[in-house]
């Protein structure tokens, strides 16, 4: 994916505090957005596409498989966060 953010500069302590608070808000927002999603069904659909794509349209599958792999990895990671978010609202 990408590199982790590393604050730099003279004002690192203040920047870290602000970054911490911003990160916390974003994580809470992302968690609330993930709760209603059917990620299990989404991943099942990806599984079907992975099984049938090479048979039905090999050229399209080859062209799209890298992007599909990335989306699948994101959905799997989101599913883990979704589980943690669901536990936090119980």
Q: For residue range 24-74, what is the model confidence (pLDDT) as tens digits?
A: 999 999 999 999 999 999 999 999 999 999 999 999 999 999 999 999 999
Phi first, then psi: what are they for 8, rounded to 5°?
-140, 160
Q: 14-18, 67-71, 85-89: lowest mean pLDDT where? A: 14-18
Decide: residue 80, CB within 10 A, 0-12 exposed, 13-18 middle, 19+ buried. exposed
Torsion angle of the four alpha carbons 13, 19, 20, 22, in this order, in degrees rounded to the nearest 10: 150
Q: Which residue has the higher pLDDT, 22 or 11?
A: 22
Predicted local confidence at residue 6, as pLDDT: 60
Which tokens go with 52? 């049938």
């Amino acid at each position: 994916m990408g590199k982790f953010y590393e604050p730099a500069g003279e004002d690192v302590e203040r920047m870290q505090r602000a970054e911490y608070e911003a990160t916390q808000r974003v994580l809470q927002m992302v968690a609330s957005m993930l709760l209603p999603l059917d990620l299990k069904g989404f991943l099942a659909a990806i599984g079907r596409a992975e099984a049938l794509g090479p048979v039905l349209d090999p050229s399209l599958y080859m062209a799209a498989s890298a992007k599909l792999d990335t989306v699948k990895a994101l959905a799997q990671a989101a599913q883990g966060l979704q589980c943690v978010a669901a536990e936090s609202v119980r």
